Amino acid sequence: MAAYGAVISLKNTIRFIKEAPRILMIPSAHILQPAYDAMVLLQKALLQLDSTGYSKIRTKVNALDERIKHTIWEFEDLLEPHLYEQILSQLQGSSSASETDHLSFSVVVQSLQQRVDRFLPALSARDRSRFRLPFFVTLLSLYESIQQFVSRVRVMTVEYIIELQNMPEEEGEPIFSRIDFGGINSKMVGLSDEFEEARVSLLAKDGDECCLALTGMAGVGKTTLAKKVFDDPLIQTHFEHRAWVRVGRKCELNETLRCILAQVDPNTRDQMVIQGDDEKLAGLLDERLKDKKCLIVLDDVWKWDTRLLDNLPKGKVRIFLTSRFKIEDSPNQEVRMLNEEESKKLLGEKVFGEEGFPSCLKKLGEKISEKCEGLPLMLVTVAELLSKEDKSLECWTEVAEKQHNSVFVDAYDQISEVLFPSYDYLPQCLKMFFLYMGSCPPYCDLQISDLFHRLRAEGFLEPIGNKTLEEFVAQCMGNLATWHHLVIYQFNAHSWFSKKECRVHSCWQHVCKKEASKIKFLHVLQSCDDDVKDQRRLCTHCNSLFAFKQVYNSIKSTCASTVRSLLCLGPYHQYPVPIHAMNFKLLRVLDAFNVRFYHIPLDIMKLVNLNYLALTCNGELPISISNLFHLQSLTIYPHVNIKKRGAPLYVPVEIWDMKELHHIHIFGRDLPTPRSDATLDKLSSLFGVSSKSCIRENLKRIPHLKSLEIMMELKPYDDDDDINPLSGLAYIAKELHKLFILTYKVMNPDMKHGCMVPLSMFPSSLTKLNLSGLGCLWKHMNDIGSLLPNLKSLELTHYAFQGPEWNIEVGCFLKLKTLIIEDTDLVRLRLQHGSLPSLDLLSIRHCYKLQQVDWTCDPSMVTKPTIELVECSPSVVAFSEKLRPHFKVRCHSSF
């Protein structure tokens, strides 16, 4: 399970050694190349597991996977400390020596490197024993370890392939148990719209789609909904025959046909249950179902075998299947989670009957149902456990308030048996990706950008084909949400009416945390007594846990020397905790964004393996930040945003030496002008800087930047009436030719500055533009639109532009799909006929002076645009009625 991630991690480590900037690395890639090649072959073998069937038993393969993972980790724990000591000694030597001394040191190291590469493989045991140089002895031991490691991996790769070829088949269920649906309860709470939608689809006239798939997360109630449809009187009247088959992970096509025939032809039931002539099945079914309407329910389908359609009469047979996966080549109807009211009703009825919660327990019952997050299986399981508990106020208060209450833990453990197969049979790359999500706090939305940066820093991502890493992660998230239904994803980033949910259900987080801790992949600390021995990654959802001496000592003595990640993901903690003093050496990811530091600990600057660093601190960044030359993501946020007179706050100029940086978020700080021709060629996102970072000398050093966020704050003591918050941005378009996303925000804007917009700040490559607080006149917006042929999303907020009217001209924003206007003094929005031809969404929010939106529908528009009016004046809401025949109009008002 974790072997695949370990393989990619080691490959990235070796790749780093091969391409290491600034530091001379020993051993070289030449010595490590056999290990890299062994990982490539092993990765191909591990991926073969994805092509095995769902009916294969994976016990032995998973055990071997565990051994492989342990072997790779063992080798990494030998290799990385060697590199750590070597890098640290070179950095310390270079910082204390003069330029001449450092050059001499480099020459010596390079000479030794050449000697090692040339002679080490050919040295005899006798010659090796005579060589007494301590460093060489260590290197020699490492070389021998590499050879042994490669040999072990080759043997295990062959063993893994043999195990795959000999995986045993799961025993199939007897037919009588597959067609026994009497124990399935069709009584359902909620989902009436989904029920009606499914029923209408199945009752549709002949010739329409013959198959409908009911899909969704395990435990969401697909079988219950299907049974209610199956038992519906109208369905029973319409279909002369009905058959129910529980498919599961193993059910051959002929076995399915026998199950159907045993139900539609009572005369053959006993014969089909015991045996069946497979060659005659199709003929018998065709004869029995000829010219008759039949509904066939296939419950819990893991792999849809479309050959079934070829063996059934055409025209009047309807197939209604349920699956925890999205089904290709079939209409899919996804079963949603229950809403709050439905959840309360289901829990109350299961515990107390039709009357529901007694008044004294109603509010606590509501809290408990909320914690079940709308999953019916969880609600029913918690209800069963609550029924056995004391109905006292004290008992229910504990269940409602404590996350790790025994009722919820027991419920999670019980339903894990139902959920776990969905994880166990995930593709290798998705399994690693999903397991890592166990680190996220429960009931919280995922920050996908942070997750992406951490996964890359962990070494779990590598380019696949022509996809970028960002595209690969987006595809993984899409597969987990859409195809496997393991992530709750209801997210339209632009629509005000979207729930904007992107999270892992708490039931699934329990599965992830339990499995990750079991295989030592990641452990989420929950108490001072947790056993963290040999854990690879540590996380906490209560940051103060690291301040307890018992926890501190346990980590320092049992796993600090091998921990690769430390994630402080609990609520913001405004007092420092001593996470920097636990003797971490090989840390790759340190996310302490939710912990306040008074000063940035210098011990962190010795973590030379660090790829990801997120801190909250008002102190200045030390010059030694450049020691973290492998850092890919840097986030430094102030605890309090204090503005002072005088020189602005810059990060050290040494940041330009950190060639691996992909992402920088330094709110309240700026990039200094580099001293030489240094460039950050890999930097793709820069957030939180002011216009002082955007001088031409800086921009030309970050030529591959894709996302730029500029935060400008007008100083309260600056009385210059001619101040322009957009000054100094004229070179963005000239230097950043690959910029896709530009955000410019003026904090605490002053509307007396009707500034001009320098059009040269908008590269034609932009696809997304967010502007806030500029106070410019609307006429400038059309000029901007004519320069941006690729723009798809435009957000204008907090008086980004001002004035009573915006007349959007034809030819502007030809590819724009989303336009958001929020908090302006706009009175009339006029869209000329033919303007915004590609627009899908116009969302206008908190525009209290707006009177009308003049927009004539263009017949050439492919889609029917949606207009959202949120907290706008009653007059424009009334005016919007004129738009309804041509547009989808949605309104919300609190008055």
Distance of CA 187 to the CA centre of its chain: 35
| Phi, psi dihedral angles at 295 (to 5 degrees) | -105, 125
294, 240 contact by CB (below 8 A):
yes
Q: What DSSP letter does each residue of 329-357 carry, written as one string?
A: TS-EEEPPPP-HHHHHHHHHHHHHGGG-S
Cis amide linkage into residue 421, ω under 30° from 0: no
> CA 753, CA 774: separation in Å to the nearest integer?
8
Cβ–Cβ contacts within 10 Å for residue 311, how many?
17
Confidence of residue 136 (pLDDT cuts 50, 70, 90): low
* Greater pLDDT, 189 or 28: 189
What mean pLDDT is reported for the chain? 86
Q: What's the average model confidence in pLDDT over 77-105?
A: 65
| Phi, psi dihedral angles at 212 (to 5 degrees) | -135, 130
* Greater pLDDT, 715 or 373: 373
* Greater pLDDT, 139 or 85: 85
The 3-class SS string of 574-626 reads: CCCCCHHHCCCCCCCEEEEEEEEECCCCHHHHHCCCCCEEEEEECCCCCHHHH
858, 887 contact by CB (below 8 A):
no
Report the length, in residues, of the chain.
895
Tens digit of each residue's pLDDT (9 = 90 or more) over 430-447: 999 999 998 999 898 888
> CA 193, CA 138: separation in Å to the nearest integer?
70
Determine the pLDDT at residue 462. 87
> CA 536, CA 426: separation in Å to the nearest integer?
22
Q: State percent of the chain over pLDDT 90.
A: 52
584 exposure class (CB count in 10 Å sphere: 0-12, 13-18, 19+): buried
- Least confident stretch, 31-45, 635-649, 654-668: 635-649
The pLDDT of residue 73 is above 90: yes
Confidence of residue 278 (pLDDT cuts 50, 70, 90): low
Q: Which residue has the tokens 């259900």?
A: 505
The angle, 0 to 180 degrees and rounded to 10, between the axes of the packed helices 59-96 and 29-47 is 150
29, containing H or E segment: helix 29-47
Selection from 201, 200, 263, 195 nearest residue 229 by Cα = 195
Determine the pLDDT at residue 262. 86
> CA 158, CA 690: separation in Å to the nearest integer?
56
What 828-833 contacts at long range (C-beta under 8 Å, 24+ apart), as own/partner pairs, is 828/804, 828/852, 828/853, 828/854, 829/805, 829/853, 829/854, 829/855, 830/805, 830/806, 830/854, 830/855, 831/855, 831/856, 832/807, 832/808, 833/858
According to DSSP, the β-strands at 317-323 and 294-301 are parallel
589 has which bridge partners? 565, 612
Distance of CA 879 to the CA centre of its chain: 41
Q: Which residue has the tokens 């424009």?
A: 876
319, 306 contact by CB (below 8 A):
no
Distances (CA, A) of 595 to 60, 338, 640, 731: 43, 36, 13, 37
The angle, 0 to 180 degrees and rounded to 10, between the axes of the packed helices 428-436 and 448-458 is 110
Cβ–Cβ contacts within 10 Å for residue 124, how many?
8
Helices marked H in 851-894: 874-879
| Phi, psi dihedral angles at 837 (to 5 degrees) | -70, -20
> CA 282, CA 257: separation in Å to the nearest integer?
8
Helix (H, G, I), strand (E, B) or coil at 429: helix
> CA 609, CA 615: separation in Å to the nearest integer?
17
> CA 156, CA 817: separation in Å to the nearest integer?
52
Tens digit of each residue's pLDDT (9 = 90 or more) over 29-60: 678 899 999 999 999 999 999 999 899 999 99
Confidence of residue 114 (pLDDT cuts 50, 70, 90): low
- Least confident stretch, 126-130, 263-267, 677-681, 798-802: 126-130
Distances (CA, A) of 580 to 45, 555, 583, 600: 39, 12, 7, 10
Selection from 90, 142, 146, 77 nearest residue 585 by Cα = 77
> CA 575, CA 652: separation in Å to the nearest integer?
25
226, containing H or E segment: helix 222-231
The pLDDT of residue 668 is above 50: yes
Q: Which residue has the tokens 């001379």?
A: 24
The pLDDT of residue 115 is above 80: no
> CA 341, CA 319: separation in Å to the nearest integer?
32
Which residues 6+ apart lie within 8 Å of 176 measured at CB?
273
Determine the pLDDT at residue 132. 40
Q: What's the average model confidence in pLDDT over 606-632?
A: 91
Tens digit of each residue's pLDDT (9 = 90 or more) over 488-520: 887 677 888 887 778 899 999 999 999 999 999
Selection from 617, 624, 574, 625 nearest residue 598 by Cα = 617
Determine the pLDDT at residue 121. 52
The pLDDT of residue 723 is above 80: no
Query: Which residue type sits at 585?
Result: K
* Greater pLDDT, 760 or 538: 538
Which residues 6+ apart lie within 8 Å of 495 measured at CB?
841, 843, 866, 868
Q: State percent of the chain over pLDDT 70.
A: 88
| Phi, psi dihedral angles at 607 (to 5 degrees) | -85, 75
Task: Name the pTM for this structure.
Answer: 0.90
The pLDDT of residue 720 is above 70: no
53, 425 contact by CB (below 8 A):
no
